[in-house]
Amino acid sequence: MHPMLNTAVKAARRAGTVIVRALPDVDRLRIETKSRHDFVTEVDRRAEERIIETLKGAYPDHAILAEESGTAAGNEWQWVIDPLDGTTNFLHGFPQFAVSIALRHRGRLEQAVVFDPLRDELFTATRGEGAQLNDRRIRVSRAVDLDAALLGTGFPFRESDSVAQWVRLFERVACQTSGVRRAGSAALDLAYVACGRLDGFWETGLKPWDMAAGALLIREAGGLASDLFTEGDPLDSGNILAGNPRIYGHMRTAFADVAPHGTD
Ligand code: IPD
Ligand code: CA
Ligand code: CA
């Protein structure tokens, strides 16, 4: 395993331990509201501290972009961190959340880890070297038609989100696919596309730390991940379309006439 990936795995496992240990006492946690429907707990913060101290211990000069503590300057290497993706699920004891850590070099994704601490599932990728789940090589699914596809998405829940736009996107695929799931952790949803559990995924309004690791996992597993509307970098816009190449293509065609929120 690449040494930088190895460090990221160590960091993700430490964060996972913090999260799992806190789960039985979740009812007693102090919950802060960052904005309406957007929560943070001391567990998110503690998990993030463990990650940053692990990464900084090995790579003190690297820059950091982390959900709870923001940006720390450094050199051209940057760690993109979501210490607990799926906080709302975690707060409800709904067992679908993950730690997400990616490394970018001059903006290009190099390493990725998504760790589900409840199932002990570790998704990893290094650019150019493929993607793994618990050290076994993974590939995106072989589904060729939307009919047989299971898609993932994220529902709008922030006041700034456009419900109307989500409905328009949903309408284009709803009755053409086997099903659409909203599991509540974008990082894990993307990891599921990478290992073929989902055939495609879309969501708008995400942050770089929700998607960075998942996007590299998908590309290294033979899939595509890009901006939902422009085919640019989804980390720039927050709007992502991902899938195996066939399903990605069908979804892109199905969504072609839906304009980005704010431009229609
Ligand atoms: C959230 C999850 C969720 C997505 C939200 C994200 P958080 O991350 O990824 O699936 O729909 O947009 O904010 O806040 O739990 O880290
Ligand atoms: Ca997140
Ligand atoms: Ca988070």
DSSP the chain: --HHHHHHHHHHHHHHHHHHHHGGGGGG--EEEEETTEEEEHHHHHHHHHHHHHHHHH-TT-EEEETTTEEE--SSEEEEEEEEE-HHHHHTT-S--EEEEEEEETTEEEEEEEEETTTTEEEEEETTS-EEETTEEE------SGGG-EEEE----STTS-HHHHHHHHHHHGGGSSEEE--S-HHHHHHHHHTTSSSEEEESS--HHHHHHHHHHHHHTT-EEEETTTSS-HHHHS-EEEESHHHHHHHHHHHTTPPPTT--
Question: Which ligand 1 atom is the nearest neighbour of the CA of 184?
Answer: 10
The CATH number for 20's domain is 3.30.540.10
Q: Which of 137, 163, 186 is the last residue of a domain?
A: 137
CB under 5 Å of ion ligand 2: residues: 82, 85, 210
Domain region containing 187: 146-254
Cα separation, 156 vs 176, whole angstroms: 21
Ligand 3 centre to CA of 97 (Å) is: 9
Q: Whose CA is nearest to atom 15 of ligand 1?
A: 86
Is 37 in the same domain as 90? Answer: yes
Task: Specify if 264 maps to a domain.
Answer: no
- Over residues 122-137, the pLDDT tens digits come to 999 999 999 999 999 9
Q: Which two tokens stand for residue 115?
A: 């760790």
Ligand 2 centre to CA of 39 (Å) is: 11
Is 16 in the same domain as 126? Answer: yes
Task: Specify if 11 maps to a domain.
Answer: yes
Is 9 in the same domain as 112? Answer: yes
Task: Specify if 67 maps to a domain.
Answer: yes
Is 150 in the same domain as 123? Answer: no
- Over residues 66-89, the pLDDT tens digits come to 999 988 888 999 999 999 999 999
- Over residues 197-231, the pLDDT tens digits come to 999 999 999 999 999 999 999 999 999 999 999 98
pLDDT at 259 exceeding the cut of 90:
no
Is 118 in the same domain as 170? Answer: no
CB 193 within 8 A of CB 203: no
Is 23 in the same domain as 116? Answer: yes
pLDDT at 37 exceeding the cut of 70:
no
Q: Which of 107, 137, 167 is the last residue of a domain?
A: 137
Ligand 1 centre to CA of 11 (Å) is: 20
CB 81 within 8 A of CB 52: yes
Residue 32: predicted pLDDT:
76
Is 132 in the same domain as 150? Answer: no
Model's pTM, two decimal places? 0.96
Is 25 in the same domain as 128? Answer: yes
- The number of domains in the chain is 2
Is 250 in the same domain as 169? Answer: yes
Q: With cut-offs at 50, 70 and 90, classify the pLDDT of residue 262.
A: low
Task: Specify if 247 maps to a domain.
Answer: yes
Q: Return the best residue to mutate from 31, 39, 85, 239 for the ligand 1 pocket (most ligand atoms within 8 A of CB).
A: 85
Question: Which ligand 1 atom is the nearest neighbour of the CA of 203?
Answer: 11
Residue 71: predicted pLDDT:
87
Task: Specify if 10 maps to a domain.
Answer: yes
Q: Which of 93, 110, 137 is the last residue of a domain?
A: 137
Residue 105: predicted pLDDT:
98
Task: Specify if 261 maps to a domain.
Answer: no
Is 133 in the same domain as 169? Answer: no
Question: Which ligand 1 atom is the nearest neighbour of the CA of 38?
Answer: 14
